[in-house]
Structure 1
């Protein structure tokens, strides 16, 4: 069955099956995959919203769905990739949506048929999904904490085990639950174009529903307006950015007279924040990232906001082309495991492995050593991540101090985010309803 002969409901399920294969097997991002599939099958509007809901829902509930389905399969053996993903697509709709069960099964089975599955697989998926309708409510989860939490909240066992050991069951369960919730739709106001109070006043007059955040220039949009349809975003008045990432720019305290280097600049959210804090004076701001494809995102953001373009350089931050002692301030937006932003990118939980944490930590060490060399005496280093893991956070602090730098307090940040006498800022989704982040600030002593 080709796409022309498929009804839209069938195409949506077909797209979901194909998307899951790309996301889980080839480690593609959900947003990128949905965009490609939607164009391929001409899925738009509310149909695209349903496709996104199904794919996100399967990813967020993968362990639970697989656990329940395994009880209905012979010896718990799953079929081919497409058939397995069809089972997941159908089971998620039965478990978590208001779509009638018969429609969930019929459209999913027909979607699998359109992918040229064998008659045996089509029959199997049809039979298992009909059993799932009757039996999913009676699924009993394991009693032990590790398996119970891993299956209930659909996170890999290695990650649940790490968090149980560090935080205990109560906090771990809160963290896992928060990762499956929808994150706030947070925006940063472009203070070069409009004062925060004026922007918010205009939104109130237009009837736009929003909430304040801990930082004046941020707000959470409560109206479910897609980003691309939000007029303030289109007109360059706001940027999409979680309030947690206002912390490192406050720690940096950008000054027009200071030579500033940002390492790991793409996609440009923090770069544009720095530009705004500099009142648009960018002659001393240098933004470095590793590839032209990533630099493109910085340029797009700068152009949309109407900002002047800073000095943008394609280079590896570990060997940036500058003389020692060039910069007054260096900001490392460090590569990391991204485990603090799982609720925004649910696929991260399935893409990351324990070794990735150690790989990122090694890379961070090299970036820190490079940055220390490029700093002037008494220069400021700000290091930030979007992860929760100590190998990438607290261990980085040790690397910084061993490099002869002094950890110093972070200014202008609410005390609830500060630890270690105000020298480290940490945010958690479950506690702060912000992305998970870590920030530390240090000063270069003498000629270290």
Structure 2
């Protein structure tokens, strides 16, 4: 698809349609597209753009079904973006608090900003026919359309979770809460919750998370008490378990591999004041800038380095690590509720390629782990091919590797802990802990 430039003049709905178009037609992430658009608007409008564009991602199969029903012929070429504007209008009418008058009128008025002046009548007709025909109330006897997921992922969840598949899909489509991790180097959990109480910000605590809390309502994070002072980091509860399961100790050398944006690095340092050396490694130089920014705000000073985890010879200093956290590149199917565009950016063919890369990285990092050392394997995936199947394969091919159970139910055939979306309000995540034999 030919790249479509951001409209020269800002318009709320045109800019939102541009974000949707970039994700679906050009494979761009919502993070990158939203950042470009949101520079042009005020915070309140930015929140609306994010809510609408990600809402379209959650309801896309249904919106596309309605679009095909209402549109005689698909739009092509430079007119294609108007289809995305129409879907935005349909989403407003069906799922938002926007009035019918504004949803139709303002969406029609946005068409010229996208080069669609001649298509204003079409946009108006489609949206009014949608309302006139009461399509929002018409039942659709297609579970894949109703799931809001691509066909391949719908079936993959079926294969992995059988009777529990509907629950997994439902949780995948839910809204994710905001988790905070209190920076224990600067403030205790009790001290920080007292600050939230004073600010009248509601929260809940979790028994499994010594440093974590969940906000009861969505808040502007930068406006929370202590943000600029580094009193907390935004980090989902599942990701907060990494530092706990890794179990780093004072005077140890620790590698956090594929570390960006640095949440787990910060937590490791906060839990281990006497750590000898902590290296945050990532292949993406742009994302490493975020690691540096986050570490500065939190007051931490790990070594930050760009490098390919599959090729340690390019960046390793020759001294083995006591503990390695491998947050492996994965499908991110466990965090779709937080990043709904992921479902449309991933393809079924990606899973096999990712699984091969995960094995390559596992074996490469194993060579730089000390005898007796611990490697914690983690993904934000819910697919067995990236999780327990990976660990089974690695254990079968690595004589000096053994499983160090995280939960009592683990076996060699069923290794690790699989957290499903919504479990204790957490994202979907997988952990397996491996120990390297100490030798003779």
TM-score > 0.5 by shorter chain: yes
- 1:64 pairs with 2:59: no
Q: The residue matched to 2:256 in structure 1 has which SS?
A: strand
Partner of 1:54: 52
Specify the alignment match of 1:304 in structure 2: 297
Contact 1:181–1:343, Cα closer than 8 Å, also in 2: yes
Check the 8 A contact 1:174/1:430 in 2, yes or no. no
CA distance in 1, matches of 2:234, 2:242: 16
| Superposition deviation, residue 71 in structure 1 | 1.3
Q: 1:356 to 1:118 in 2, by over 3 A?
A: same
Deviation, structure 1 residue 227: 1.4
Q: 1:424 to 1:243 in 2, by over 3 A?
A: same
Q: How far is 1:78 from its partner?
A: 4.7
Contact 2:252 2:276 in 1 (8 A): no
Q: Does the aligned pair in 2 maintain the 1:190–1:238 contact within 8 Å? A: yes
How far, CA to CA, are the matches of 2:279 and 2:285 in structure 1? Answer: 15
Counterpart position of 2:283: 290
Which TM-score applies when normalising by structure 1? 0.89
Query: Please, which moves more after superposition, 44-53 or 178-187?
Result: 44-53
Name the stretch that deviates more: 351-360 or 313-322: 313-322
Residue 209 of structure 2: SS of its match in structure 1? coil
For residue 171 of structure 1, report the CA deviation from its aligned partner.
2.3
Give the Cα–Cα distance (whole angstroms) in 2 for the partners of residues 97 and 262 of structure 1: 41
Alignment partner for residue 398 of structure 2, among 403, 426, 433? 403
Compared CA separation, residues 114 and 331, structure 1 to 2 (3 A): closer
Distance 1:322 1:19 in 2: 39
Structure 1 stretches of 5 or more lacking a match?
A: 143-147
Q: Tell me the CA shift for residue 311 of structure 1.
A: 2.0
Report the more deviating stretch, 270-279 or 17-26. Answer: 17-26
Aligned to 1:87: 86
Q: Which runs of 5+ in 2 are unaligned?
A: 1-6
Residue 406 of structure 1: SS of its match in structure 2?
A: strand
> CA–CA distance in 2 between the matches of 1:344 and 1:377?
38
Secondary structure of the 1:391 match is helix
Where does residue 429 of structure 1 map in the other structure? 421
Structure 2 matches for 1:231-310, cutoff 5 A? 231-279=225-273, 281-307=274-300, 309-310=301-302
Deviation of 1:329 after TM superposition, in Å, equals 1.2
Measure the CA separation in 2 of the matches of 1:208 and 1:99.
Answer: 27
Q: CA deviation at 1:367?
A: 0.9
Task: State the 1:3 CA deviation.
Answer: 6.5
Deviations 1:173-225 (A, max 9, x none): 22222222210100000000011122223322332211112312100012432
CA distance in 1, matches of 2:179, 2:257: 24
* Residue 171 (str. 1) matches residue 168 (str. 2): no
Q: Considering only aligned residues, what root-mean-square deviation do their CA atoms show, in Å?
A: 2.2
> TM-score, structure 2 length as denominator?
0.91
Decide whether the 8 Å contact of 1:210 with 1:220 is kept in 2: yes
| Counterpart-to-counterpart distance in 2, 1:182 and 1:438 | 20
Please state how far the C-alpha of 1:240 moved relative to its aligned partner: 0.5
Q: In 2, distance between residues paired with 1:191 and 1:400?
A: 35
Contact 1:261/1:288, CA 8 A, preserved across alignment: yes
Please state whether the residue corresponding to 1:318 is helix, strand or coil. Answer: coil
Look up the SS of the partner of 1:232 in the other structure: coil
Give the Å deviation of 1:118: 5.2
Is 2:212 aligned against 1:218?
yes
DSSP-derived class of the 1:77 partner? coil
Aligned residue in 1 for 2:369: 375
Match of 2:4 in 1: none
1:282–1:311: 8 Å Cα contact kept in structure 2? no
Contact persistence 2:251–2:276 (CA under 8 A): no
Alpha-carbon contact 2:351-2:386 (below 8 Å) kept: yes
* Other-structure match for 1:99: 98
Match for residue 22 of structure 1? 22
Does the CA-based 8 Å contact 2:111-2:117 persist in structure 1? no
Q: Is it true that 1:197 corresponds to 2:196 in the alignment?
A: no
CA shift for structure 1 position 345: 0.3
Q: Which runs of 4+ in 1 moved over 6 A?
A: none
**What is the SS of the residue equivalent to 1:313?**
strand
* Cross-structure match for 1:134: 132
Give the superposition deviation at 1:420.
3.7
Q: May I ask how many residue pairs the two structures share in their alignment?
A: 425
Q: Is the 8 A contact 2:243 2:268 kept in 1?
A: yes
Query: Helix, strand or coil for the counterpart of 1:429?
Result: coil
Pairing partner for 2:150 from 156, 165, 168: 156
Quickly say closer, same or farther: Cα 1:51–1:193, change in 2 above 3 A: same
| Cα drift, residue 81 of structure 1 | 1.8
Distance in 1 separating the partners of 2:280 and 2:146: 42
In the aligned structure 2, how far is the partner of 1:23 from the partner of 1:89?
Answer: 13
Equivalent pair of 1:324/1:373 in contact (CA under 8 Å): no
Distance between the aligned counterparts of 2:137 and 2:75, measured in 1? Answer: 21
